[in-house]
Amino acid sequence: MPGSRPRTALALALLVTGAVAVGGATTHAPARPAHAAAPAVATRRAATAKQLPPGPGRELVERGCLACHSAMLITQQRKDSTGWEKTVQQMEKWGGGARPEERATLMDYLRRHFAAGAK
C-alpha cells in the first residue's frame, strides 16, 4: 500500500537513536542488556572501542555507553558541557549511564575528549 512504509531517513534516525514509533509518538526503546548486540548501521565505517582515547572514564564509556551504542556515536559527538549533561541525564532516565559515584568521572571524560573544541 503506497505511503504505508516509513521514510528511509526517519527509519534510519529511529534505528540510530534507539527510538521507536508507537501510535504516532516516538519513544525510546527499552535498554538492551549488555550481552545484546547493537543494531548494525553500515552508513560509515564504525569506530571501535579501541579508538576511544585512554584516560579515566574510558572504562565507564565502554561499560555504560557501548552496551547500547557504537563507539562511532560517541566519537562523532561534539557537544558542549550542557549538551553532554543533558545526554547523560537522558541516558540515566532510560536506565543507562554510570552509577552516581562514577558520574563525575564519566562527564569529565566526555567533556575532555568529545567537546566542541576537543581534538
Q: What is the pLDDT along the chain (119 residues), one digit of tens a residue?
A: 455 444 444 444 444 555 544 445 545 555 555 554 544 443 444 556 778 999 999 999 999 899 889 999 888 888 998 999 999 999 999 988 788 899 999 999 999 999 887 76
Q: Report the C-alpha gap between 115 and 37 in whole angstroms.
A: 27
pLDDT at 117: 76
Crossing angle of the two packed helices 81-93 and 103-114, in degrees rounded to 10: 140
Cell of 94: 532510560
**Nearest to 87, CA basis, from 111, 67, 105:** 111
Please tell me the predicted confidence (pLDDT) of residue 4: 44
Name the phi and psi angles at 19, rounded to 5.
Answer: -85, 160
Query: Where exactly are the structural domains of the chain?
Result: 1-30, 33-114
